[in-house]
Structure 1
Amino acid sequence: MLDLLLQWYRRRFSDPQAIALLAILLAAFGILFFFNGLLAPLLVALVVAYLLEWPTVRLERLGCSRAWATTIVLIFFATIVLVLILVVAPVAWQQGINLAHELPTMLTSLYHFATRLPERFPALIDVGLVDIVVENLRARLSGIGDQLLRYSLASLVGLMTLAIYLVLVPLMVFFLLKDKEQMLAAIGRILPRNRGLAGQVWLEMNQQVSNYIRGKVLEMVVVGVASWIGFLAIGMNYALLLAVLVGVSVLIPYIGALAVTVPVIGVGLAQWGLGGDFWTMIIVYLIIQGLDGNILVPVLFSEAVNLHPLVIILSVVIFGGLWGFWGVFFAIPLASLVKAVLHAWPDEYGDAYNKKD
């Protein structure tokens, strides 16, 4: 047994480049695991910087200096964000408040609808089961008002943090874009010298992360706008709020779509029952989800689609448990990183050098 372990160790860890890659990965994992709260503004800035790198490079190719290209792109991006905050956010927030106020009425409507189901389908649905489910929902929804109040009080601290972020993040994004090459050179000076394997993985992952962030933002916008237009066209209540939820749900592969379906169906049942309008809404919603899953996602994330769905779900669960929101957001790139490392890792001594020949 010991001989097998020694053979495996020699085959996998004899190459100094493999040791350097392992050290870099462990250091990055440790920093993110222990200091993810402190690094949150930097992570936000990195995501925005990746998002804005493409237009910045395009402006450079048109003759702008790096500093001017960064300034122009940041001003344009800040204008879009400001419009969203001033136009979309207040409407969605008000619809959320109205929905919270109408939850008891909606629950009553859903209860009356559910009590009629055993009469229509006596062999499939039991009256006692309906009562248990409804009472459980009542118990959970009864505390929503107190929870919202506690959240509002706690959010005062969050607002102060947000105000700091609104100052720090744009500054960090500006310098990350403007001084990108100098920062990469500074990081390179403190990394191990034998990092050829790490550089190979970095080149692959840098492009994947860049494409992933741009694709994910584009997917959120397209799905959200399509949902809003569809819900608005059929006259659905809380159309903008539900569209925002549907757009945000694409951040969590598979699980997000399942979770957001619950409020969509709940609002539709409370508004229309099982009438024709409800089924029209279901068809519209399924068409949007189908186009997203079968056309938009394969086009935007062609490399990520090569990952098995079970691998993606496990990545969401594992990395989300480790790093919360950021683990969920970067679940697919992190799974791709693991795949890239396993693919690039030398299988025997000198394998990394043989690849260069």
Structure 2
Amino acid sequence: RLQAIGCSRRWAASIVLILFVGILLLMAFVVMPIAWQQGIYLIRDMPGMLNKLSDFAATLPRRYPALMDAGIIDAMAENMRTRMLNMGDSVVKYSLASLVGLLTLAVYLVLVPLMVFFLVKDKEQMLNAVRRVLPRNRGLAGQVWNEMNQQITNYIRGKVLEMVVVGVATWLGFLLFGLNYSLLLAVLVGFSVLIPYIGAFVVTIPVVGVALFQFGLGTEFWSCFAVYLIIQALDGNLLVPVLFSEAVNLHPLVIILSVVIFGGLWGFWGVFFAIPLATLIKAVVHAWPDGQVTDASS
């Protein structure tokens, strides 16, 4: 699009690189340190939260003697305390193991912007080099590539914008109520859009848990939860149709099945790439029965 308004490919690549590096630096040195600190505070405060939950659970047999057994509640509380004693050791082990991951991330922060720059700058030369080693009769592959290229590009652009908009809106909403760990929870909500439907369901659990322990079942809790639900509803019914009007056209059931199947095959990365893989299969199925595909070289 920058080239469409008169920028040369080199200038367009430079602008993209500057924006990309700027966003990475903002995330690395502003957002993530605060979110990391809030995560440490959350882990520190979690025993107190679970103690409150244990105390609340202990009152249930007295309130509902016909439904709750005191022995079961005591066993659950003891199991919860045991898990909390083991959590400290797990956090230390994870922190030590994550040092290697942090070094790897630092390398990626240097390499990825350079890759983006050269991919944008020398896109045509790279595509021409690939075309020279491919068979001349590549009609099916060309048709699949054209459909995939357009849909995946729109999908990635839309997802990045959706993450930013949903994350910022959620953060502002949580700040309005003074919710603890607001930035950490907003980051989790923003990243949850990468996993359709399932991500929103999973991230709601910590949001509700933190709000419940901070506010109780009072007006502030229900107001905060209502704002969160409104943001989720606006995301699904307004933001997604606007951002993905030209992107992948997949039925919600297909998306859920893709997440479940590819997640079962390849774990986290299967979930992360479920939509692109489903789009690839859709493009192949769409092109295959036609029989008369146009040659990509024409």
| TM exceeding 0.5 | yes
Q: Distance in 1 between matches of 2:62 and 2:288?
A: 63
Superposed counterparts of 1:60-75, under 5 Å: 60-75=3-18
Q: Which amino acid aligns with 1:82?
A: L
Letter in 2 for 1:341: V
Instruction: Give per-residue Cα distances to partners, 1:9-34, cap 9 Å, x unaligned.
Output: xxxxxxxxxxxxxxxxxxxxxxxxxx
Where in structure 1 are there 5+ consecutive unaligned residues?
1-56
- Using a 3 Å threshold, how does the CA distance of structure 1 residues 137 and 316 change in structure 2: closer, same or farther? farther
Task: Report Cα offsets for 1:330-357 as digits up to 9, x if no partner.
Answer: 312221221221121136xxx32699xx
Could you say which residue in structure 2 is the equivalent of 1:212? 155
Q: How many residues align?
A: 295
Q: Are the aligned partners of 1:298 and 1:305 in contact in 2 as well (CA < 8 Å)?
A: no
The corresponding residue for 1:315 is 258
Instruction: Indicate which of 213, 218, 222 corresponds to 1:270.
Output: 213
Q: Distance in 2 between matches of 1:244 and 1:212?
A: 20
| Aligned equivalents of 2:192, 2:293: Cα separation in 1 | 44
CA distance change for structure 1 residues 201 and 128 in 2, over 3 Å: closer, same or farther?
farther
Distance in 1 of aligned mates of 2:136 and 2:204 = 51
Residue 245 of structure 1 aligns with an amino acid whose one-letter code is L
Give the gaps of 5 or more residues in structure 2. none
SS in 2 for 1:345: helix
1:115-159, CA deviations, whole angstroms, 9 ceiling, x for partnerless residues? 344555566655555445444443433322212211221122222
Give the drift of 1:232: 0.8
State the Cα distance separating 1:284 from its structure 2 match: 1.2
Distance 1:126 1:194 in 2: 72
The CA distance in 1 between the partners of 2:176 and 2:200, in whole Å, is: 21
Contact 2:177–2:224 (8 Å) recurs in 1 = yes
Contact 2:143 2:294 in 1 (8 A): no
Structure 2 residue aligned with 1:222: 165
Q: Distance in 2 between matches of 1:111 and 1:301?
A: 45
Match of 1:151 among 82, 94, 103: 94
The alpha carbon displacement at 1:179 in A equals 0.5
Superposed, which structure 2 residues align to 1:1-357 within 5 Å?
57-58=1-2, 60-120=3-63, 127-302=70-245, 306-346=249-289, 351-352=291-292
After TM superposition, the structure 1 stretch with the greater mean CA deviation from structure 2, 296-305 or 82-91, is 296-305
TM-score when normalising by structure 1: 0.75
Residues 278/202 of structure 1: CA separation in 2 closer, same or farther (3 Å cut): same
SS in 2 for 1:209: helix
1:264 is displaced (CA, Å) by 0.9
Indicate the SS of the match to 2:217.
coil
Query: Of the two structures, which has the highest relative contact order with CA contacts closer than 8 Å and spacing of 6 or more?
Result: 1
Q: CA deviation at 1:195?
A: 1.2
Q: Deviations over 1:249-272 (max 9, x none)?
A: 111111111111111111112112
CA shift for structure 1 position 305: 7.2
> Which amino acid in structure 1 is aligned with residue 292 of structure 2?
A
Q: Which amino acid aligns with 1:97?
A: I
Mapped partners of 1:186, 1:141: distance in 2: 57
Range with greater deviation from structure 2 (253-262 or 141-150): 141-150
Say if 1:186 and 1:247 are closer, same or farther in 2 by CA, change over 3 A: same
Please give the root-mean-square deviation of Cα atoms over the aligned residues, in Å: 2.4
Distance 2:294 2:22 in 1: 51
Identity across matched positions, percent: 70
The CA deviation at 1:64 is 2.8
